[in-house]
Amino acid sequence: LGPEIKVGPLNGRHVIVTSGPTQEAIDPVRYISNRSSGAQGTAIAAALRDLGARVSFVTGPASVSPPDGVDVIPVETADEMRDAVEAALPADAAVMAAAVADWKIANAAGKKMKKDGSGRMPVLEFAENPDILAWVSKLRKRRPKLVVGFAAETDNVVEHATSKRQRKGCDWIVANDVSPGTGTFGGSENTVTLISADGADAWPRMGKDEVAQKLASRIAEALK
Ligand code: CTP
Ligand code: CA
């Protein structure tokens, strides 16, 4: 028996999906990260797979398991995620659902940092991480036909996401309302607005799986 062959509108298409948080080392035993569970990115990878796409799933250390039937490329840091995305090109579409840490530690220690008994605190210096979405969006020859970003916002969701779309140069932004009380982080539902050149399309609150399926069918439509 060979591998299972899916027949669907994304047959023969290759899509890169980034997902989960990244972890940026402080020393060999400590890191900074964020609360992303990877649930939405995982659901998107599964929905694209179900429509027949070959999926390269570049994932930081997420709390949910990656889906079956996709090429899983595990990474820890934003730099590793960028390199993994580059290695996975070319692709027909890229969906950047990862919660990439905006900063890494510039003065990460090679050995575990120890209290020295003086009561003085270590000083962490930060350096900006590469913006993977902006970099992919601005590629010339290797740019995927459709580049989709996410924007987690707590206020003025459409306004912030619209300017983010322009700044980054991606085709679509899936704007997430993550204000307290929505339960988006770690929850199973999401309230999103799809921002494109045509404007803002507010979707009703629905399960992350349903958001993923709806987004996957829009992607299939756009790649037709
Ligand atoms: N993103 C990325 N690489 C980064 C930061 C963000 O690829 N270093 C992507 C995310 O995967 C997401 C989109 O960019 O698809 C928006 O992320 P967000 O954190 O909302 O945007 P930022 O430009 O980092 O702005 P903010 O200051 O609001 O965090
Ligand atoms: Ca950010």
Q: Residues 59-94, buried b or exposed e (16+ Cβ, 10 A)?
A: bbebeeebbeebeebebbbbebbbbbbeebbebbbb
- Residue owning the nearest CA to atom 27 of ligand 1: 102
pLDDT score at 5: 64
Query: Active site residue: 34, 107, 156, 176, which one?
Result: 34
Q: Is residue 6 part of a domain?
A: no
Ligand 1, pocket-test mutation among 40, 133, 174, 178, most atoms within 8 A of CB: 133
pLDDT value, residue 182 = 76
User: Which CATH number does the domain housing residue 171 bear?
Assistant: 3.40.50.10300
Q: Is residue 47 part of a domain?
A: yes
Q: How many domains does the chain have?
A: 1
The parent domain of residue 175 ranges over: 14-112+119-223
Q: What is the pLDDT of residue 2?
A: 59
Measured in Å, residue 131 CA sits from the centre of ligand 1 at 7
195 is a domain residue? yes
Q: Judge whether 76 and 70 are in contact, CB under 8 Å.
A: no
Confidence band, pLDDT 50/70/90 cuts, at residue 7 = confident
Q: Is the pLDDT of residue 6 over 70?
A: no
Q: Please, which pLDDT band fits residue 4 given cuts at 50, 70 and 90?
A: low
Percentage of the chain beyond pLDDT 70 is 97
User: What's the pTM value of the predicted model, to 2 decimals?
Assistant: 0.95
Q: Are 127 and 103 in contact (CB under 8 A)?
A: yes
Please say if the pLDDT value at position 1 is more than 60. Answer: no
Q: Would residue 36 count as lying in a domain?
A: yes
Q: Let me know if 34 is a catalytic residue.
A: yes
Going from the Cα of 130 to the center of ligand 2, the distance in angstroms, rounded, reads 11
pLDDT score of 89: 98
Q: How distant, in Å, are the alpha carbons of 42, 61, 98, 116 from that of 65?
A: 8, 10, 15, 40
CA distance 89 to 133: 13
**40 vs 181 pLDDT, higher one:** 40
Q: Is 5 domain-assigned? A: no
Predicted confidence at residue 118, as pLDDT, reads 92
Q: Please give the pLDDT value at position 149.
A: 98
Position in ligand 1 atom list of the atom nearest CA 98: 11
Each residue's pLDDT tens digit, 162-205: 999 999 999 999 998 888 877 777 778 999 999 999 999 999 99
Per-residue pLDDT tens for 56-97?
Answer: 999 999 999 999 999 999 999 999 999 999 999 999 999 999
CA of 122 to the centre of ligand 1 (A): 28
- In a domain, residue 9? The reply is no
- Residue 8: inside a domain: no
DSSP per-residue string spanning the chain = -------STTTT-EEEEEESB--EEEETTEEE-----SHHHHHHHHHHHHTT-EEEEEE-S-SSPPPTTSEEEE--SHHHHHHHHHHH---SEEEE--B--SEEETT--SS-----SS-PPP---EEEPP-HHHHHHT-STT--SEEEEEEEESSSHHHHHHHHHHHHT-SEEEEEE--TTS--TTSSEE-EEEEETTEEEEPPSEEHHHHHHHHHHHHHHHH-
1 lies in some domain: no
Nearest residue to 212 (alpha-carbon basis) of 224, 200, 203, 222? 203
Average pLDDT, the chain: 95
- The response to whether 104 counts as a known ligand-binding position is no
Mean pLDDT of the region 24-53: 96
